[in-house]
Amino acid sequence: MVHDDYREMIPASAVSALDAAETRVLNEHLENCTECRKELDDWQTTAAALAVAAEPIEPSPKVRERILNEIRNDSSASQVVPFRSNPRNFWTSLGSLGAIAAVVLFVVLIVGLIVLWRQNRAAQADLARANEFLQLVTTPGAKVAELKGTDVGAGATAKLVYDPNGRAMLVADKLPNVPQGKAYQLWFIVGNKPPLPGKTFVPDNAGKGVMKDQVPQPALDSAVFAVTLEPAGGSSAPTSAIYLRSGL
């Protein structure tokens, strides 16, 4: 294929109309072609405008609540800097060593409380996930698939539990850290057909990741489950080696 052939594919790519093989070919070209990447960015602006053709609809207020609860449980929230006051003015205004010691003690106590509170929240979140996993695994007809690390994901393991309706939960451990802008993505492989994309997830620093997903109907009876490393937004077809797969 020549450069113009790839350029012709870009408008369709912006509306996700390419099939898996075309997407893979174009993505490989985009990695090395600044001009086509720029063109895709421009076409995505046009494509985004189409979103307003959909009728605006108000979601339930519970969605906002769920998002904010989730991010407040996110361990990365610990990066927030809670105090923004000017330290020089603060110390100057105290005026005595005793007061400084009292304030230091107070701050230590508060920090300790915050740490305990966060640990408690994290433990509650872990417990909630464990309960959810347990509920799913005890659903009548539920299946559990064991995924093992391949050469690139050596040492990693995962379990995918799913019920007869396809409600699924993946629990992974010891996965390699993901580079910036990447995420792991689950795939459902049925026979010789192109893999069906699942959701993406980013594991914590220990390589642990938990994700809920929906097993597509064709994959409920017999499928291979695999995990690859993809761009953060996920891919419609795998673009990397398999890190985890079932049936190994």
Considering beta carbons, is residue 149 or 169 the nearer one to another protein? Answer: 169
Residue 218: HSE in the Cβ half-sphere, 13 Å Cα cutoff: 11
CB of 248 to another protein, least distance (A): 24
End-to-end CA gap in the chain: 36
Q: Do residues 142 and 161 touch, judged by C-beta distance below 8 A? A: yes
Considering beta carbons, is residue 180 or 192 the nearer one to another protein? Answer: 180
Q: Do residues 6 and 33 touch, judged by C-beta distance below 8 A? A: yes
CB of 140 to another protein, least distance (A): 22
CB of 137 to another protein, least distance (A): 21
Strand partners for 235: none
Considering beta carbons, is residue 166 or 176 the nearer one to another protein? Answer: 166
Binding site residues, another protein, CB under 8 A: 8, 11-12, 14-19, 41, 43-60, 62-64, 66-68, 70-72, 74, 76-77, 79-80, 180-181, 188, 196-200, 202, 214-218, 232-234, 236
CB of 236 to another protein, least distance (A): 7
CB of 168 to another protein, least distance (A): 10
Considering beta carbons, is residue 17 or 241 the nearer one to another protein? Answer: 17
Considering beta carbons, is residue 16 or 96 the nearer one to another protein? Answer: 16
Q: What is the DSSP string of 150-213?
A: -STTTT-EEEEEE-TT-EEEEEEESPPPPPTTEEEEEEEE-TTSPPEEEEEE---TTS-EEEEE
Q: Do residues 145 and 225 touch, judged by C-beta distance below 8 A? A: yes
Q: Do residues 233 and 199 touch, judged by C-beta distance below 8 A? A: no
CB of 42 to another protein, least distance (A): 8
H helices present in the chain, as ranges: 3-14, 20-30, 34-49, 61-73, 87-94, 97-137
Residue 156: HSE in the Cβ half-sphere, 13 Å Cα cutoff: 29
CA gap 195, 193 in Å, rounded:
6
Considering beta carbons, is residue 22 or 173 the nearer one to another protein? Answer: 22
